[in-house]
């Protein structure tokens, strides 16, 4: 179990375009994903991208695998998103419907903002064994994928905020709710 340090906004690597993975099912790739999983779970995150732990590769993980019957305490009302390893993803919006929703990020601790995202999304990519992934999703699942895959293009959610009146410190925005960093 290795919980890695998460890079914070301001770190140049977070602004880089990540490189595609060229070899699947390797010890190095499995070790990277294990570290990402340990780090995400330790922080109750909805997802994490490899660049956030300093590895500029097109690998993201998101969703919940082992919650022992409970929902993510960070997102108790969010619909369940299956635990997914997504590598070399391609995202295609389905329709042009946009939905606003609050987001946070492990790389932007203590803050939350309202981010417009495509409501419906088609995404393809590969898992860690090189098996293809092809899904049509909506709502929170679509939001999480868009947020995580933005990290692979050097985009952090504050760059997507269109109304900066809806961006602030979590404990000020949601007093008494004990919402942790994303
Ligand atoms: Ni993030």
The segments of the chain whose pLDDT lies below 50 read: 68
Structure tokens at 173: 């925005």
CA angle 93, 145, 136 (to 5 degrees): 50
Measure 23 CA to ligand 1 centroid, in angstroms. Answer: 25
Distance in Å, CA 57 to ligand 1 centroid: 15
Provide the pLDDT for residue 1. 78
CA 10 to ligand 1 center in whole angstroms: 13
pLDDT single digits (tens) 82-121: 999 999 999 999 999 999 999 999 999 999 999 999 999 9
Listed residues: CB within 5 A of ion ligand 1: 105
pLDDT of residue 75: 58
Catalytic residue list contains 148: yes
Pick the catalytic residue from 28, 66, 97, 148.
148
Helix (H), strand (E) at residue 143:
helix 139-151
Res 110: pLDDT: 95
Q: Are 133 and 84 in contact (CB under 8 A)?
A: yes
b/e per residue 150-171 (b: at least 16 CB within 10 A):
bbbebbbbeebeeeeeebeebe
Neighbours of 100 (CB within 10 A): 12
Specify the length of the chain in residues. Answer: 182
Q: Up-side HSE of residue 153: CA atoms within 13 Å toward CB?
A: 13
């Amino acid at each position: 179990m290795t919980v890695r340090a998460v890079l914070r906004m301001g770190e140049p690597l977070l602004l880089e375009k990540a490189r595609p993975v060229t070899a699947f099912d390797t010890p190095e790739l499995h070790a990277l994903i294990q570290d990402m999983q340990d780090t995400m779970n330790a922080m109750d995150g909805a997802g994490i991208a490899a660049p956030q732990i300093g590895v500029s590769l097109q690998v993201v993980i998101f969703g919940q695998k082992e919650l022992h019957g409970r929902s993510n305490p960070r997102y108790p009302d969010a619909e369940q998103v299956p635990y997914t390893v997504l590598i070399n993803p391609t995202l295609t919006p389905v329709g042009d419907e946009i939905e606003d929703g609050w987001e946070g990020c492990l790389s932007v601790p203590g803050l939350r903002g309202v981010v417009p995202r495509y409501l419906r999304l088609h995404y393809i990519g590969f898992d860690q064994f090189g098996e293809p992934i092809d899904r049509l999703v909506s709502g929170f699942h679509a939001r999480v994928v868009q947020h995580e895959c933005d990290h692979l293009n050097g985009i952090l959610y504050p760059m997507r905020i269109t109304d900066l009146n809806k961006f602030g410190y979590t404990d000020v925005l949601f007093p008494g709710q004990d919402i942790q960093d994303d």
